[in-house]
Structure 1
Amino acid sequence: MTTAKDLFIIAMDLKHSVGQGDLSLALAGAELIDLIGAEAVAVDGDRIVPGGPPTLDDRFMDEAAAALTRQAPYERIEDWLWRRGRDLSAAYQAALEENGELKPQRSGRLSFGSERVEPVDTPARRRATDRWKEKEPVLTALASVVGIDDERSDEETGLDDEAVTTVVAAVHDAVMELEAVRQRRTIENAAFANLWRGP
């Protein structure tokens, strides 16, 4: 199990409305944090310095490690988040559905309507839930960045690793940047609509 998978399960489980783009950025950050923990990468300032191959038995972690830039000056964390994060949430959902770890759930009592998915009760889900209940610092910090806080207090997350703190801060900045882009598009679209309506 990985932090990214746990984060995805928690997002599905708590049924918070999390944007796919926000979640994808956080998942990329979670993968990077697990790569740091596996000593497959190190962080030097705002750059990702590759190390040895990851020892985690996980397809997504293998893909993440394979996608690392292995030549100096290496890739900036923020650039990694945007590049690796592209459609990552959808990829996790597809993989979990394929493994039978997510099941369709129809909203409302009628048989038609938007189809959602929810986690199946598996050891992976129980592990993610346990980490969440224990307020595991990395999982809690990443969840908070995308707006999943389960009405928790704003106490310190307790991140005691400088590299991990740097990654979480970069995820936060990327999510804020994405929100700014959304707001700008909304304003531009509204202005365009008003232009066509005329005075």
Structure 2
Amino acid sequence: MGTGVLAPSCLESFMTTARDLMIVALEEQPGSPVEQGDLSLALAGAEVLDLLDAKVLTVDGDRVVPEPHRGPDDSLLAEAVAALDRQKPYETVEEWLWRRGRGLAARYLAALEEDGEVERRSRWMTLRAERPVLTDSGARRRARERWASHDPVLTHLAAAVGVRREPAQDGQDIADDRILAVLAAVGDAVVQLEAVRQQKTVEEAAFDNVWRGGGD
């Protein structure tokens, strides 16, 4: 497909878009880690793209349609394959992102740690957290090379979660409509999640005002 997403033969080396995105997010935003929820949604989208390239699924319109192919050896991608909805009319990309994405960033971080690619000093993305440190691994070097090459898929996913490198306008660097559909769904989901955060902030502020007013 020429998308930058990995061919099936490469998946056994664990060099996947999702893992590359996780590494880029850790490396490029050391001072202000991306929102865990945003990253989880983007990782779920990256899994769809990896499995699309491996021909384990296809994207038909806005639906994720499983294909009868053997899943990859990567443990998290194999978990994603097992989680696919195989009942017609199948789920939408958006539904997959919200269902699969729950807590996904933490699972990818744990997988990188287990593989010796991250030295984890404390829990990530909490008030008392110390940033995880990437080791000098082959996976890190491959992710950095892909990032340095301005891989369009990786660049779009990273931009969606706030890692600063603007992709080409309107996805003009990507020709496959299926990939564009997934990237658009990720962007929409991140926007929706931010709207939920903002609404929660407004509601909490209103509650605080009422509470203070009631105590006068």
Structure 2 length-normalised TM: 0.84
1:127 is aligned to 2:142: yes
Q: Cα deviations across residues 98-138 of structure 1 (Å, max 9, x unaligned)? A: 221101468xxxxxx63220211111000000000000010
Determine which of 29, 35, 59 is the counterpart of 2:45: 29
Partners of 1:53 and 1:117 lie apart in 2 by: 35
Question: Which residue of structure 2 lines up, in the alignment, with residue 68 of structure 1?
Answer: 84
Change (3 A) 1:195 1:39: same
Q: In the alignment, what sits opposite 2:35?
A: 19
Deviation digits for residues 126-181 of structure 1 (CA, Å, limit 9, x no counterpart): 0000000000010001001111124x475565111110100000000000000000
Q: CA RMSD in A?
A: 1.7
- Whole-Å separation in 2 of the counterparts to 1:168 and 1:153: 11
In 2, Cα distance between the equivalents of 1:54 and 1:10?
Answer: 28
Moved over 3 A (4+): 152-157
Matched, 1:48 2:60: no
- 8 Å CA contact retained: 1:18, 1:146: yes
Q: Which amino acid aligns with 1:96?
A: L
Pick from 137, 159, 167: which aligns with 2:182?
167
Of all paired residues, the percent bearing the same amino acid is 53
Distance 1:166 1:186 in 2: 30
Q: Supply the AA of the counterpart residue of 2:88.
A: A
**Matched-pair contact (CA < 8 Å) for 2:18–2:46:** yes
Segments of 5+ residues of structure 1 without an aligned counterpart are: 107-112
Taking the aligned partners of 2:141 and 2:167, their CA distance within structure 1 comes to 23
Deviation at 1:57, TM superposition (A): 2.2
Greater strand fraction, Structure 1 or Structure 2: 1
In structure 2, stretches of 5+ residues that fail to align are 1-14, 123-127
> 1: CA distance between counterparts of 2:106 and 2:120?
15
Pick the aligned partner of 1:145 from 160, 181, 186: 160
Match of 1:192 in 2: 207
Matching residue of 2:10: none
Greater alpha carbon shift after TM alignment, 44-53 vs 125-134: 44-53
The residue type paired with residue 66 of structure 1 is A
Q: CA deviation at 1:17?
A: 2.3
Equivalent pair of 2:155/2:167 in contact (CA under 8 Å): no
CA pair 75-155 structure 1, distance change in 2 beyond 3 A: closer
Aligned residues between the structures: 192
State the distance in 1 between where 2:193 and 2:103 align: 14
TM-score, with length taken from structure 1: 0.91
